[in-house]
Amino acid sequence: MNLFLEAWHYLTDGANWSGPTGIEHRIAQHLWYSFLAVAASAVIAMPLGLIIGHTKRGAAVLVGFANAMRALPTLGLLTFLVLLMGLGLTPPLLALITVGIPPLLAGAYAGIANVPADVVDASRAMGMTETQILFRVEVPNALPILLTGLRGATLQVVATATIAAYVNLGGLGRYIFDGIGLYRYDRVLVGALLVAVLAMFLDGLLAFTVWASAPGTGRLRRSNVVLTPAALLGTSD
């Protein structure tokens, strides 16, 4: 119980929130590392998932690749990258990318591959090119699943970004690693609680985005561009 009280006192002390080692700065660092990792993962995974989902080719290779990346031990990979490349932001960023790619890749592929075949066939019958079909038909219809992949990747990366402190960078992992080193387990608890709260907050935002992006609900303006067979053929239901 004393551990929780000490962690609560630390969190409620305003002096611990300001300055270069304050909670606000650590949260900003954690978000920055997470953003870089998710953005880099999206650049790699999204085009690959969209193409494979659209062409229906290479799905077995994609599944094997995603599963192999999930099996990589993040901390062990980070240690190897540090030995290979030295300290800095690059090793933890590369390690976090291996965490972010699988859910983004799976979401992009599943979203595009599960767009109703009659919608795609109707768009082809209208003479749309494959690129137009992908970006004007399949992506809008698959948006909720695409965002679900982003949601999963964000949670994975935010929860794992504490490893940046392992190589003397900042972020909320500093409380965990420094607390272990100093035998201040209240600081470890502070870091764990802050990571959990941050992850739940971002999960809530992305869950709302997934809900709002459902095609045909009118919850987002962009839902107006979602095409149905009736819309493509110019008929009414």
Nearest of 138, 112, 111, 107 to residue 124 by alpha carbon: 138
Percent residues over pLDDT 90 in the chain: 57
Query: pLDDT confidence of 22, banded at 50, 70, 90?
Result: very high
Q: Is residue 216's pLDDT more than 90? A: no
Query: pLDDT confidence of 64, banded at 50, 70, 90?
Result: confident
Nearest of 53, 59, 207 to residue 135 by alpha carbon: 53
Output the pLDDT for position 61.
85
Q: Is residue 235's pLDDT more than 50? A: no
φ/ψ of residue 147, rounded to 5: -70, -30
Q: Residue ranges of the domains in the chain? A: 2-233
Whole-number average pLDDT of the chain = 87
Output the pLDDT for position 59.
81
Percent residues over pLDDT 70 in the chain: 90
Output the pLDDT for position 219.
63
Query: pLDDT confidence of 196, banded at 50, 70, 90?
Result: very high
CA angle 118, 148, 158 (to 5 degrees): 160
Tell whether domain 2-233 is in CATH 1.10.3720.10. yes
Paired tokens of 210: 């997934």
Q: Is residue 229's pLDDT more than 50? A: no
Query: pLDDT confidence of 233, banded at 50, 70, 90?
Result: very low
Question: Could you tell me if 227 and 123 are in contact, meaning their C-beta atoms sit under 8 angstroms apart?
Answer: yes
Question: Could you tell me if 114 and 145 are in contact, meaning their C-beta atoms sit under 8 angstroms apart?
Answer: yes
pLDDT tens, residue by residue, 78-97: 999 999 998 889 999 999 99
Torsion of CA 40, 44, 49, 55, to 10 degrees: 150
Output the pLDDT for position 38.
96
Output the pLDDT for position 4.
87
pLDDT tens, residue by residue, 125-181: 888 988 899 999 999 999 999 999 999 999 999 999 999 999 889 999 999 999 999
Distance of CA 169 to the CA centre of its chain: 21
pLDDT tens, residue by residue, 114-127: 888 888 889 888 88
